[in-house]
Amino acid sequence: MTVNQKEQTAGASGGAAKTNATLLGIQSLRPSFTKSEQKVAEIVLSQTESVIYSSVIDLAEKAGVGETTVLRFCRKIGFRSYQEFKLALAQELVHPVKNLHGEVTEEDSLTTIAQKVTATNMQAVGDTSSLIDPVELERCVDLLQAANTIHFYGVGTSGVTAQDAKYTCLRLGLKVDAFYEAHLQAMAAATLGPGDVAVGISVSGSTKDTIDSLKVAKEAGATVLCITHYRRSPITNVADVTLLTAAKEGPLQGGSLAAKIAQLHVIDILCTALAMRIQEKALTYKEKTAKAVLDKKY
């Protein structure tokens, strides 16, 4: 019986029995693991909290094994993917309030909650700024300025960020589009070629649809940029240039505002730098786009 099956059985008989089923399952399965899988198990059991924020590459490096070993380990304990394993681990590891709201506690007043959330979002911007590599930033601006066509790819809340990036770039007079549906991403990526740029946005750096689309774009001859939290993650292996964001999110924090703010901060920096490079063109198109929607307001 897999760990997941055990959890389902426990859920049917009582919620208390389900607590820490994943960790207990790993301990019970340790004798059946290979030597490499034993290394992964040791890291998961000894550094459990850090694992829920680690990419598959991060965990593989900590354990001194290959990525395939980590994926095989996850399947052996009953999960279809590494992300599914992290989600289950997060659900049973720590108090739900901590997973959902970072440092906010149940004892906090509304004023304190507001202050903590504000501090978290402000820190996301500050930390992201400190992570930006000036050389990589300049390469990104150069590539976007010279691009024939720019595509932004993202799913979930990163897809919303991609749409925001499209709107901003349109106002600068750039030929740009954004796609947040997997099939459209893939088809759009296939239409790109040399001189075009595809930008993938993913906090985890492990979003399969986005990464697959970037691979298609690269095979078509386009240059690939990415915006992610993890320096070493699947998306950075595909990208020619990487820009990092500081805010991370656990498996239960999908759509974290701090993570989205960090993404938007990077987009804002890129677009502001582009606007300064093409001031005359940017001003002309800002005026044109503003006039185009003038009659949409009372």
pLDDT digits 0-9 by tens, 224-237: 999 998 887 899 99
What residue numbers bound the domain in which 182 lies? Answer: 119-296
Low-confidence ranges of the chain (pLDDT < 70): 1-20, 28, 93-103, 248-255
- The answer to whether residues 92 and 169 belong to one domain is no
pTM: 0.72
Instruction: State the Cα angle at 62 between 32 and 86, rounded to 5°.
Output: 70
The answer to the question of residue 181 being in a domain is yes
- SS3 of 256, please? coil
Compute CA 297 distance to the chain's CA centroid, rounded to the nearest angstrom.
Answer: 35
- The answer to whether residues 194 and 144 belong to one domain is yes
- Predicted local distance difference test score (pLDDT) of residue 102: 52
- Predicted local distance difference test score (pLDDT) of residue 127: 85
Q: Which of 42, 63, 98 is the endpoint of a domain?
A: 98
As a 3-state breakdown, the chain gives helix, strand, coil percent values, each rounded to 5, of: 65, 10, 30
What is the domain count for the chain?
2
The answer to the question of residue 114 being in a domain is no
Tell me how far apart the alpha carbons of residues 52 and 296 are, in angstroms, rounded to a whole number.
Answer: 46
Strand 197-202 and strand 241-244: the pairing is: unpaired
The answer to the question of residue 160 being in a domain is yes
Tell me how far apart the alpha carbons of residues 295 and 194 are, in angstroms, rounded to a whole number.
Answer: 39
- Predicted local distance difference test score (pLDDT) of residue 280: 92
